[in-house]
Amino acid sequence: MRAPDPLDVKRHRLSTRLWHWTNVVAFFCMVMSGLMIFNAHPRLYWGKYGANFDHAWLEIKGANGVGMLRVGDLKVETTGVLGAWKDSAGAIRYNAFPGWATIPSSYNLSDARLWHLFFAWVLALGLLFYLVRSFWNRHAQRDLAPTREELKPAHLWQDVKDHARLRFPTGEAAARYNILQKLAYGSVLFVMLPLMILTGLCLSPGTNAWAGWLVELFGGRQSARSIHFIVMWGLLGFFLVHIAMVVLAGPINEIRSMITGRYRIRPDPRSKPAPHPTDNKDEAHAAS
Amino acid sequence: MLLPETDRRTLLVGGTAGLLLAGCDKINQSPTARSIFSLAEDANYRSQRLIGRNALATEYDEKHLSPVFRPNGSRMPDSPDYQRHLASGFSAWSLAVDGLVERPLRLTMDALLKLPQRTQITRHDCVEGWSAIGKWTGPRLASLLDLARLKQQARFIVFHCADVEGGRPYYESVDLVDAFHPQTILAHRLNGQPLPVQNGAPIRLRVERQLGYKQAKFVMRIEARERLDDLFGGKGGMWEDRANYQWYAGI
């Protein structure tokens, strides 16, 4: 008896794929130009105001060849990475984030703003179109919303264990999002990206005039700036886990599926008959 | 000799990242890319004017005042003219209002004090990211412009300052929406005290819906103009000319 054949399915729509790669570019331009903007004043505060004479809950400093990160009362020496680092010419620099992490690579606040304020539109409009479309064609309700069954602790725990053992879904289950994926994507789409956009808008004195309530909702402009910074790390964390999962789940297949839309499903080894009759294979391909 | 696997991988990853970074710096220098990116400034200006044309900046209570209002930029203009006025307590100083106006003015500090005064506790947001809350008092810019009567062609109000930064005279400009905005004042008091030199004595502009570099200090002359591209570097402000900061700084 021969093993069941792998099956190609159409996994991602063109709009999803275009949006995904636009976001890759926009996200990195936003993070790196944002880190440069942070370098202009590497201190974070809670509340409505905050400047050099006020207490900063986070600060990156550098002097005399030593870089330092302070969070609350915790001080960590970060020489070489934060606060004091060598540029490509070997000269020591005292900016908070190093040149390899920022756009542009050497200190320039106005250029960083040029990038940041442009890609902010790309990211925000992209998310808006994606969300409207995803609710309209029911992608969000159908594929992203967790079911009651999936949210049961036993199911969640099973999925966590499967992920930890790198046991990835096969067969038909691989064509759908599992609960951990749904929660991860949901937190990015409905929580973190909207938070980034809203806290970013709160930093604008113009927006502040017509949406003062929004600034107050976040606890004031400097709180909004702190939240903007913290959620950025949340998104970077998502990115790292996302890349790790792509690599573990088969990078070629995964990346191809996000470029061409086609995804190859490994058949479920437990099911004796192939999910689709082999004599219908061509039709399955054509229909997918 | 072949490099060990990990070294090759490090080189590959490091090399790719390096190329991407160099690419970003190249894009940053490209006039085409820059002109595309700066479409966002236009979009921000238009959308802010569309949504919040007459919106008022948040005003705070006394209890929200920053304990120390941080000064920034020039703290002491060194021109002999300014120094003379400073020494005499600005008693012989006057503010010029000219350009595209029907009636050019010279207003002494007494004349400015006789105009209706507005006091507002507002937040000052520097482009660098910090904020400070202060209480400002002064006449509305609109009162001065009404006295001088703008000519039809006037589209911008320019503020000429006494300080020089990097060899360039400081100046700034706003459109007429911001010029006539009820919270746009020429402040001569900060937190109930005469405006300190480091914060822009004798008067500074408060244009509350824009960032700090628009809040021109040491204002000596106010000029109504039809265009900005024939003045100094042509971008409407010292920081705009010198380092490409956005002219519309509402974001």
The predicted pLDDT at position A6 comes to 73
Please tell me the predicted confidence (pLDDT) of residue A279. Answer: 38
Considering only residues 104 to 123 of chain B, which have any Cβ-Cβ distance to chain A shorter than 8 Å?
Answer: 123
- β-pair partners for A9: A263
Average pLDDT of the residues in A54-74? 97
Q: Spell out which residues of chain B touch residue A205, defining contact as CB-CB under 8 Å.
A: 57, 123, 125, 208-211, 249-251
CA distance B237 to chain A (A): 14
The phi-psi region of residue B192 (left if phi > 0; otherwise alpha if psi is between -120 and 50; otherwise beta) is: left
Q: What is the pLDDT of residue A280?
A: 38
Q: B-chain residues within 8 Å CB-CB of A100?
A: 17-18, 21
Mean pLDDT for chain A overall: 89
pLDDT single digits (tens) B199-240: 999 999 999 999 999 999 999 999 999 999 999 999 999 999
Angstroms from A157 CA to nearest CA on chain B: 35
CA distance B185 to B176: 13
**Confidence band (pLDDT; 50, 70, 90) for A286?**
very low
Alpha-carbon distance A58 to nearest alpha carbon in chain B (angstroms): 13
Confidence of residue B172 (pLDDT cuts 50, 70, 90): very high
pLDDT of residue B17: 76
- Closest C-alpha to A154, from A176, A177, A179: A179
**Pairing outcome for strands B94-99 and B219-225:** parallel
Task: Test B25 with A32 for CB contact under 8 angstroms.
Answer: no
Q: Would you give the DSSP letter of residue B104?
A: -
What does the pLDDT read at residue A168?
82
**Is residue B128 within 8 angstroms of chain A, CB to CB?**
yes
pLDDT band, very low/low/confident/very high, at A277 (cuts 50, 70, 90) = very low
pLDDT in tens, A116-175: 999 999 999 999 999 998 899 998 899 899 999 999 999 999 999 998 888 888 877 777
In this structure, chain A runs to a length of: 288
Amino acid A276: pLDDT = 45
pLDDT value for B5: 58
Dump pLDDT digits (tens) for B4-62: 555 666 667 677 777 888 889 999 999 999 999 999 999 999 999 999 999 999 999 99
Residue pointed to by tokens 């949006």: A19
The alpha carbon dihedral of B75, B81, B87, B92 has a sign of negative
Mean per-residue pLDDT for A36-54? 98
**A132 backbone φψ class: left, alpha, beta (φ>0; ψ -120 to 50):** alpha
- Give the ipTM of the model, two decimals please: 0.93
Contacts of B48 in chain A (CB under 8 A): 204, 206-207
> Which band of pLDDT confidence, cut at 50, 70 and 90, is reported for residue B114?
very high
Interface contact B132, partner A, CB < 8 A: yes
A117–chain B Cβ distance below 8 A for any pair? yes
Question: What pLDDT does residue B76 have?
Answer: 96
- pLDDT per residue as tens digits for the range A211-255: 999 999 999 999 999 999 999 999 999 999 999 999 998 899 899
Q: A105 falls in which pLDDT band (50, 70, 90)?
A: very high
| Mean pLDDT within A98-107 | 96
- Contact list in B for residue A208 (CB cut-off 8 A) is 57-58, 123, 209
- Residue A19 pLDDT greater than 60, yes or no: yes
Within an 8 Å CB–CB cutoff, is residue B74 touching chain A?
no
Percent of chain B whose pLDDT exceeds 90: 90
Using an 8 Å CB-CB cutoff, list chain A residues near B37: 114-115, 117-118
Q: Could you tell me the pLDDT band of residue A271, with boundaries at 50, 70 and 90?
A: low
Residue A275 pLDDT more than 50? no
Chain B closest CA to A48's CA: distance in Å?
Answer: 8
